[in-house]
Amino acid sequence: MTHAAARLDPALEIADIDRRLFGGFVEHLGRHIYDGIFEPGHPSADADGFRADVIELVKELGVTTIRYPGGNFVSGYRWEDGIGPVDQRPTRLDLAWHATETNVVGLHEFQSWLDRIGSELMLAVNLGTRGTEEALDLLEYANTSVDTTRTRERAANGRSAPFGVTMWCLGNEMDGPWQLGHRSATDYGKLASRTAKGMRQLDPTIELVVCGSSSRTMPTFGSWEREVLEHTFDDVDFISCHAYYEEQDGDAQEFLASGVDMDRFIASVVATADHVAAVKQSDKRIMISFDEWNIWYLSRWKEEEATYRPDEWPIAPRQLEDRYSALDAVVFGDLLITLLQHADRVRSASLAQLVNVIAPIMTEPGGPAWRQTTFHPFSLTSRLAQGRAVRLPVDAATFESARFGAVPSVNAVATVDDDGASVFIVNRSTTDAASLRLDVAPLVAALGRDVAVVESHLLHEDDLYAANTLEDRERVGVRPLDGASVEASALTLDLPPVAWAALRLA
């Protein structure tokens, strides 16, 4: 048992929580859309072909803004393919994922699905094979209320009122050589600046996200952000971060340090953005849209990809269908803690992705839908994290990481609102339980009344690799954290090794 101590002081406020921090991501990839959210022949399908069981799970997950339609897919996508009569839409080859896209689901259908789950649309434009003109056409079609050829076309397709999309991504991962239309930072920065200026002329109310690095391990990381922002600083509001994590070589302890990597990633991008601001003698602060993050076993995908034949272009194949373990869920919960710890600059984030494809929700054609292990920390954090994020430094033992040196074994963050506080904690140690004493006297003083634990949730399994499957859909879940209580203005709790917990004090 390792002993840890912390103090919950509302004065250590980071920032108010932008609800877009709990966003999601839907890409035309694998069985995400077809056989995922959309399966007309399913027993639960509604009149438009959307699975009602999936809708209920997505609503429970608590996603706010959803980025669409990609991802790598968007860099070869013609948005016009997804509008108009379905039987007249073209079938295309998707070069990003080596599949066939039927375009049965497009902008109107996806917005209809969003209306059912109560989430907002975040659109990405194709700056890979297309450019400024096509982005302006899509913006006019989506957001303009003036009578034009594009808006009449939108009305003819079933929507007279504008979509009113607030947040727009200027391409996707343009630093990546795998990306259609991959460019240098200078070439992309110039194109993004021209496109952003034109889009703002058409709709000055929108918020724009410019592409940052697709990974902190990219050889151009840092210099890419600087060069792109030198061109776009005055034109955009956000720069994107993308990061995926996986256990490598069976080293669970090193995997549990993933939150440290995300923390340093964010700090580096913030420093670079603020450097550009300083050079430009500007008080403007570029925010971060962490619009792709998750656990993704990329090594498995590489093996899967190698089996594709050049002449094989399947429709909605099973791709990237990672099965998540209890260990994955604990690391995932720690990544959420890290995002909240940077709520002052991370004002939007998108879990990539939602259904079937590296997803918290899985489905079987004609069969059930179920929650993966990672579903639980996201749904609980989205629901419980309200008000303001508050730093919660923990005095705890450390373990040695090959990549990061001494890593705290316990990581935590809190959120405070008018009715109380929520606390999110992870024990990263694979060997030692942790006993935490949390001084809540400053919280009691700020609220003017005592608090008690009114809700507690623990995610832990003795078998780190236990998972939820089609055969055993509820193998891993959350349970109350026994023994967590507040006495004499101190919250005490014990966490087993490799565990994530969420508590509500009110």
pLDDT over 90, % of the chain:
97
pLDDT over threshold 90, residue 12: yes
Given a contact cutoff of 8 angstroms between Cβ atoms, the answer to whether 115 and 58 are in contact is: no
pLDDT per residue as tens digits for the range 287-304: 999 999 999 999 888 887
Specify the pLDDT at position 354. 98
pLDDT of residue 303: 82
Q: What pTM value is reported for the model? A: 0.97
Q: What is the pLDDT of residues 218-246, one digit of tens each?
A: 999 999 999 999 999 999 999 999 999 99
Higher local confidence (pLDDT), 499 or 304 = 499
Residue 395: name the closest of 416, 405, 409 by CA.
409
Statement: residue 172 has pLDDT above 90: yes
Any residues with CB less than 8 A from the CB of 45 and at least 6 apart, and which? Answer: 39, 51, 52
- CATH number for 18-384 (one of 3.40.50.1860, 3.40.50.12780, 3.40.190.10, 3.20.20.80): it is 3.20.20.80
Residue 310 pLDDT: 85
287 vs 301: CA distance, rounded Å: 31
pLDDT greater than 90 at residue 146: yes
Average of pLDDT values for 488-506? Answer: 97
Catalytic residue flag (residue 227): no
Q: Exactly one of 140, 247, 292, 461 is catalytic; which is it?
A: 292
* pLDDT one-digit tens code per residue, 245-265: 999 999 999 999 999 999 999
- pLDDT value at residue 307: 78
What's the average model confidence in pLDDT over 2-14? 97
Query: What does the pLDDT read at residue 300?
Result: 87
Q: How far apart are CA 424 and CA 335, in angstroms?
A: 11
Whether 305 has a pLDDT exceeding 80, the answer reads no
Confidence of residue 308 (pLDDT cuts 50, 70, 90): confident
173 is catalytic: yes
Q: What's the CATH class of domain 2-9+390-505? A: mainly beta
Calpha distance 211→406 (Å, rounded) = 32
8-state DSSP, 38:
B
Residues 353-412: tens digit of each pLDDT: 999 999 999 999 999 999 999 999 999 999 999 999 999 999 999 999 999 999 999 999
Is there a cis peptide before residue 250, judged by omega within 30 degrees of 0?
A: no
Q: What DSSP line would sit under 108-153, residue for residue?
A: HHHHHHHHHHT-EEEEEE--SS--HHHHHHHHHHHH--S--HHHHH
Q: CA 34, 35, 38: angle at the middle one, nearest 5?
A: 60
Mean pLDDT across 456-477: 98
Q: Where exactly does CATH 3.20.20.80 map onto the chain?
A: 18-384
Distance of CA 360 to the CA centre of its chain: 11
Delimiting residues of CATH 2.60.40.1180 domain(s) in the chain:
2-9+390-505
Element (H, E) at 227: helix 223-232
- The residue annotated as part of the active site, out of 101, 134, 173, 225, is 173
**Mean predicted lDDT score pLDDT of the chain:** 97
Each residue's pLDDT tens digit, 92-124: 999 999 999 999 999 999 999 999 999 999 999
Mean pLDDT within 429-450: 97
Token pair, residue 135, equals 């982005």
